[in-house]
Each structure stands twice: as C-alpha cells, then as structure tokens.
Amino acid sequence: MRTSIVFFISVFFINSCATHDSAPSDFYKSADEIKNAVPVNEPLSRYGNPESYTVMGKTYQVMKNSNGFTQQGEASWYGTKFHGQKTSSGEPYNMYAMTAAHKSLPLPTYVEVTHRKNGRKVIVKVNDRGPFHDGRIIDLSYAAARKLGISGAGTGPVEIRAINTSALDLNTSSVVLPETANDGKIHVQVAAMGSENAAEEVAVNLRDNSFNSVRVHVVESDGKKLYRVRIGPIPSVDLAYQVLKNLNDIGHNAARVVTD
C-alpha cells in the first residue's frame, strides 16, 4: 500500500507542463546540437508500473508491453519547476536530458516522436507519468521540446512510435547487417572529413571491430570533396540505434543516425 501511495504522489506532482513552469535561462544549444536518446534494452522500473493508478479521479491502465504502439495527439513539455525531482520511475527529472512522460506506456520505453507539421523527429526515454491534460499524449523534457520545435509554442501535434528494444544485445560489439542495399535509406554516419585517407582509416578500424556494411561516401560541395564514413543501409530505425549504441561503446561519440 505504501508503494501505491508514493506512486500516486509522484505522478500527481511531477507530471506535465503546468502553470508557473518555465524554460531554463542557461540553455543555448540549437536543435542540431541536442543528441537523441540512444535506445537500450532495460528492465522495467521497480516503480511506476502498477496495473493501474488514479490521478484526479481518473484511472489509467499501464500497458504490459509497448510492441507496435503508435499514437497521435498533442505534445507538451515540462521544465524548471520539476527539474531534479523524482519521476514516477524513481529517476530524477532532468530537463536537459531526452526524456518524456506518458500515461500508460511501460517505464522505461523508448519512443520516436515526430512533429506532424515541421517533420522533425526526436528519440526520448519515457520514464515518467503524464501529461494529465485533455488531448495531450506526451510530455517532453525541455531539451526534447527544443529539438522538436515546440518549446516556444508550448505544444505541438505529434505522432509517437514505440521503439522495440527487446532484440538489442548490449553485450556484443558487433552488429550483422545485410551486405546488399535495401530500399531504405537509413544509415549511421560515423565521421565526415576532408581527407580520403583519414576516412578510409576510420572505415578499416570499424571493419576490424566487426562492423560490416561500412562504406565511404563522397559528396562534393563548393568544389570541395567531403568523405562520409557510413554504416548501412540499415533495415530499421531500431537496428540503427543498436548500431549507434555499439559505436558509442568504442568511442565514436559523434556518430549519428541519418535518413538522407
């Protein structure tokens, strides 16, 4: 009973963008500088996952799993008012991290959020409950809202899609990808440089670390050649983020998922 009471208090006070909340005054990163959350296969949180819970007289059912989950509606954000306080999962809320609150998804769940008007996409970790406002389906951290382009307006129309992390193997540094191209255009870009030799060295290092489908793509702009080291094409966004996680583990922290 004590656990359920603590959970109720947590979700009641640390959810959604509420009155008197505000943006941080010391956050200057542009949308491109804010890095997406990297999905990993995590166990369910000990907190925040009861079968159901009640807030302001309304009962919400918590999903057993998020497989295939999609949803459309309004996104909002929360900021300084809750920064540092415990979320429903027990983790401290960090408005500078790529996290979010959702009423029914299991905690944690990684989701891709797409702005239905400007086309921007972000990846966030759902570790909190909310928003408890009619019509709103997800509450983003301030950083996620900034990257998605809704920090100024406060809300925006979105579609969310749960990312399947169940197949991610966190104990392996290698990911096997098809050697032949597919119809998709998802890649992980590891580096972009002006030297072909340097790019080839990075590519060789990746192959030595058991990454395949590593290629150096050459593009030309203003008469100058740029050599982009990429892995792919990759069949799905979920697998692309597995590749990204494995690259981060061996020190390639500037790698990013690209869809061009």
More confident residue, 147 or 29: 147
177 domain residue, yes or no:
no
Q: Which of 124, 145, 162 is the last residue of a domain?
A: 162
Which residue matches tokens 């999609």? Answer: 70
51 shares its domain with 125: yes
The answer to whether the Cα torsion of 35, 238, 89, 151 is positive or negative is positive
18 shares its domain with 144: yes
Q: Which of 147, 162, 177 is the last residue of a domain?
A: 162
167 domain residue, yes or no:
no
74 shares its domain with 27: yes
208 domain residue, yes or no:
yes
Confidence class of residue 9 from pLDDT cuts 50, 70 and 90?
A: very low
224 domain residue, yes or no:
yes
Which amino acid, one-letter code, is at 45?
Answer: S
CATH number of the domain that 194 lies in? 3.30.70.1070
Q: How far is CA 218 from CA 12, 180, 193, 249, in A?
A: 53, 19, 10, 26
Distance CA 122, CA 7 (A): 28
Range of the structural domain that residue 41 is part of: 2-162
Cβ contact 148:93 at 8 Å: no
Q: What is the DSSP annotation of 164-195? A: --TT--TT-S-----SS--S---EEEEEEES-
pLDDT beyond 70 at 160: yes
20 shares its domain with 139: yes
Q: What is the dihedral of CA 51, 100, 110, 205, to 10 degrees?
A: -150
DSSP-derived letter for residue 210 is T
Q: What is the mean pLDDT of residues 237-248?
A: 86
pLDDT per residue as tens digits for the range 85-125? 999 999 999 999 999 999 999 999 999 999 999 999 999 99
169 domain residue, yes or no:
no
155 shares its domain with 48: yes
194 shares its domain with 149: no
Q: What is the mean pLDDT of residues 231-245?
A: 86
Q: How far is CA 110 from CA 127, 199, 218, 223, in A?
A: 9, 32, 33, 41
174 domain residue, yes or no:
no
pTM summary value: 0.70
56 shares its domain with 94: yes
Number of domains in the chain: 2
pLDDT of residue 176: 52
Which residue matches tokens 């590891």? Answer: 190
CATH number of the domain that 84 lies in? 2.40.40.10
pLDDT of residue 16: 42
48 shares its domain with 126: yes
Cβ contact 100:111 at 8 Å: yes
